[in-house]
Amino acid sequence: MFFDPRELAAPAIPAISAIPGAPPAPADPKNSKVAKIAGYPGREHGDHPPPITDADHEDMPHRLWLVSTGAETRSVSFCPPAALSEVMKLYPGATVEPAPEPDPNPPVLPPETEAALVRWLDAIGETDAGIRDEFLLNCRRDPTGLANILEVAAP
């Protein structure tokens, strides 16, 4: 049985602004704000997008947030990354700030510590080189996590 997709598709509806009283779209697309910021044709050479303001920066999405409720601070992960306003809705009354970016060059682990971690990875059957490298890198970046994993890896 053959179906012509054009017969199944709904007829096209012309675009209408969903916001009452919104200004109409610019007649010339190269004059739109999005075109100028994104660098589409019509943007003059040397024009730069407007700088990011503090308000823009505050609501930029992040994957990791530090959420403090009284004496306790937790690291909360979001996938996809969440903006401050979204995190605040989930944790009303908490102090929320983006977690600092991890150090790209964390300190090297002592050889005996790294050897214990490698033995543990062998013992649990982890053979993927990429996962092993990422695990060791995260251990180098997070001393608290390293201490916790060493309790399991090297009792």
- Pair of tokens at residue 57: 């920066």
Within-domain flag for 9: no
Whether 100 shows a pLDDT value over 90: the answer reads no
Q: Does residue 93 sit in the same domain as residue 122?
A: no
Domain containing 94 equals 58-98
For residues 69 and 82, give the distance between their C-alpha atoms in angstroms, rounded to a whole number: 19
Q: Does residue 94 sit in the same domain as residue 120?
A: no
Task: Name the band, by pLDDT with cuts 50, 70 and 90, for residue 57.
Answer: low
**pLDDT tens digits for range 74-98:** 888 888 989 999 999 999 999 999 9
Within-domain flag for 130: yes
Within-domain flag for 33: no
Q: Are 34 and 25 in contact (CB under 8 A)?
A: no
Q: Does residue 90 sit in the same domain as residue 124?
A: no
Q: Looking at residue 125, what is its pLDDT? A: 95
Whether 154 shows a pLDDT value over 60: the answer reads yes
DSSP secondary structure string, 117-149?
Answer: HHHHHHHTT---HHHHHHHHHHHHH-HHHHHHH
For residues 49 and 39, give the distance between their C-alpha atoms in angstroms, rounded to a whole number: 8
Q: Looking at residue 43, what is its pLDDT? A: 47
Within-domain flag for 64: yes
Q: Coil, strand or helix: which one is 69?
A: strand
Q: How many domains does the chain contain in total?
A: 2
Which has the closest alpha carbon to 78: 89, 94, 93?
A: 89
Within-domain flag for 131: yes
